Structure 1
């Protein structure tokens, strides 16, 4: 029986030649030494240690060698790659130290310098925005009504014609408090304030209700589990949709400038009948849909922007709140204060209103 064949054909693979490996190693070391900052070093790392680097490609060629030749080639490549990695680590440490030192010099602030400047404070735009809206309606002879944020289930749902099986009652939309038998929720709208007002006073009623509301929405650029609404309620003899339209047109003009009007699109809400979605004439292109020959980015060429909801108060709601539905009618409307401010000031990310960055609020000063 013959023994194992230890002879091999010394196949030459160019990337594995000693001179080629040394050249790749030396090129990598030179590039590392020449890197002037961390960004340049990152690029060097990719070029000389990445999957497509010369040493990485050479390492892949080891498999093409006969078994007896692989050990020597593997040691040669391993030593070269080790030298490169050590040089990278050393250079990284030096450049990080230089970066930190440079930051200390460039960002130094002499806190002992005398100053007579006192930073000007700023009120949060949600606060000033809510007050502006309240002032608009107070000037029209309305009153501002407020209520608790932890509300009775009956006032938040039943009194507003939202039956026991309505999907808004589920955990997908509503924050319920413990224990469940207390039947308390974090209010999902400011409509309970309207219900409380009708229960506590006799028409005529003209109230506007701004405040925080809570729903189980995701927190992103256009949604938040905590946001702000303003709702209005008018209950009197002879109230019609025409009164509602005139009120909202005046509100829109005061918020966005003269010439801004509203339109109604048929919709459905349990607490109003008939109901409508309120659209606002685009205050940027003034309803044209185009601006400087291009499609208006604010309204996406529609000429209108969705603003809120409204309608004539459902007689069931009036009756539930102790108002004579045979004698009185009313209208109600609601829209987001946060959304209104985003429209008015070009705020692109809703989260900017809630993250407490003083640089954001300072831009608004003390008044809108």
Structure 2
């Protein structure tokens, strides 16, 4: 639905009811991905496209029916595929198939949907399969505040909210299955989580072999990776082909000038005090999600002493993961990269980092306080 965010935001602010048709499933080749939407208001104005043109007329008619009094509040499903008899009939000439959910968006949905469409990073979780009374219900999650608003309640809200938060951190729209395991939400639901967010950043300081492996692992996890080092002979794109950018600059100077947020991971691999201390002093004062620094136990102790002398407070030092990574017995740069990214995942998702075989209860943690 974020493909038509500007119009949806305006319609919500104008308190204008509309029908929202969303691609909730794709089979084979299709022109547009899951999460793409078309909307039609009560005056017949339409915005968006879900097929590049070949099924738009049928979707438009379905939207108008859902907006009628008889269809108000009752989401409808439709499936569109290739028409062998007439390639210009209702069907996808590309040979794929689309599952489309059409629902009415009324005044009760406008406040939180308008918030989701206002340009900030956010997610909207939309129930697309399950109990009839839940299909079409939505939950809005704000990236900056963690706010959750919508028409889902109880265990369903907690489970759906957890999935939406995870996908928002990853910056990825996806359809997920929740519930049905008896541990939290007893009902099995299929939820499409629409996400509008930039890729989270991984800032790697130190153009060393470990940085090459970590940049590759970070890219695999969906981070936008930057490698920064003050030494131009080492900080080259050729040495770090998996990084999105390679920057030649003093680490603390680059960090002071670049954009970070609560999803940013800062990984300091230089283990050289002249780089580390000014960099970490700044990083520990920024609202980033993770800060880790490489080095031995001895290096760590000396680093803490120097940071304390640099007027870094004790509560700030508790944010520092040093020595960086989980205890996996890692030796090689590749193994170390797994150790570091495992710690980032555990920290981000409030995991213990312990073997699941040694735990009891649900495998996946549910958020608390909601």
Q: TM-score range by the shorter chain?
A: under 0.3
Larger Rg, first or second structure (1 or 2) = 1
Higher share in helix:
1
Bigger relative contact order (CA 8 A; separation at least 6): 1
